Structure 1
Amino acid sequence: MRLELDLQQASTAFDLPTEAQFAQWAELALSPYRNEAELTIRLVDSSESQQLNSQFRGKDKPTNVLSFPFQCPPGLSLPLLGDLVICSQVVAEEASQQGKTAESHWAHMVIHGCLHLLGFDHIKEDEAEQMEQLEIALLAKLGFPNPYLTDAE
């Protein structure tokens, strides 16, 4: 697959994955569904994540990943998929709280966001199960454990 990735670094965090890692994770998620894609991944701090989450989802707190799919006008065919906005502080905090490596959680957030851009969702239980199974399988290909297992399982 051909991926054109626009990686925007708007976060003050210093221990972020490389552009090559972001591209690898996005290509893995998108390649079964697309031959080519243009994608923006914007890395932000908590304040920008909170502002966007409040504006677009009505939730006044930062979140790990926001997905903004591109709505192509009728009659046009463009490879533009959309934008992911990922909050570096939330990802780091969640990885620590959940006992995961930062790298595996970053990969999960990119894959999760890309699946949203493709139209997958987790509002209904059957859709959530399908999306989670895809994420588990894709992360396994990278050698990462199931992100939905807790230490108690």
Structure 2
Amino acid sequence: MIEIEIESDAWTVALPDAGAVVERAATAGLGSVEGGLVVLLTDDATVRDLNTRFRGKDRPTNVLSFPGGDMPMPGQPLHLGDIVLAFETCRAEAEAQGKSLANHLTHLVVHGVLHLLGRDHEDETEAEAMEAEERTLLASLGVADPYSLPDDH
């Protein structure tokens, strides 16, 4: 089950189908994995607060992933975790990279889901593997390689 919470109206003003974009990206990222997740579309201030409290970094970031517990509640599917996205940062990145907000949001949701599934990018080998998986998933959704430079097209 994918629960989408839109806390900042800026998301739906800029991207009226933001919920559908998130649902599609999260579903692709999960593939055949069973479990639930929550995706929160919020603002920079909220993400900055979370980033400060949980990661010790006093600044907003585009996406945060918070893994869920290892044990499901009786009668409930395993909660894989929560993904939180900051509107202002995501919009600014999309503009700076010449991407649509929908495609950038798709990428970041897929990225966040992969983190919840245990993927990481702490070293070069992990980063290459995670980016390759993202590219494959995004291509299946019709989204261009987010890691290619604009001149690579």
Regarding TM over 0.5, the answer is: yes
SS at match of 1:107: helix
* Uncovered stretches (5+) of structure 2, i.e. residues with no partner: none
2-structure distance, mates of 1:57, 1:106: 22
SS at match of 1:71: coil
SS at match of 1:148: coil
2:26 corresponding residue in structure 1: 26
2-structure distance, mates of 1:143, 1:89: 24
What does residue range 1-153 of structure 1 map to in structure 2 within 5 Å? 4-13=1-10, 14-16=13-15, 17-32=17-32, 34=33, 36-73=34-71, 78-153=77-152
- The answer to whether the 8 A contact 2:36-2:81 is kept is yes
SS at match of 2:9: coil
Matched residue type, 1:7: I
- The answer to whether the 8 A contact 2:48-2:58 is kept is yes
Aligned length: 148
Matched residue type, 2:99: K
TM-score by length of 1: 0.89
2-structure distance, mates of 1:73, 1:29: 21
SS at match of 2:48: helix
Q: What's the offset of the Cα at 1:74?
A: 8.9
Matched residue type, 1:71: G
Q: What's the offset of the Cα at 1:101?
A: 1.2
Moved more, 76-85 or 98-107: 76-85
The structure with more helix, counted as a fraction of residues: 2
After superposition, give the CA deviation of every residue in 1:35-64 in whole Å (9 maximum; x if it has no partner): x22110111111101111111111111111
SS at match of 1:95: helix
- The answer to whether the 8 A contact 2:21-2:105 is kept is no
* Uncovered stretches (5+) of structure 1, i.e. residues with no partner: none
TM-score by length of 2: 0.89
- The answer to whether the 8 A contact 1:95-1:105 is kept is yes
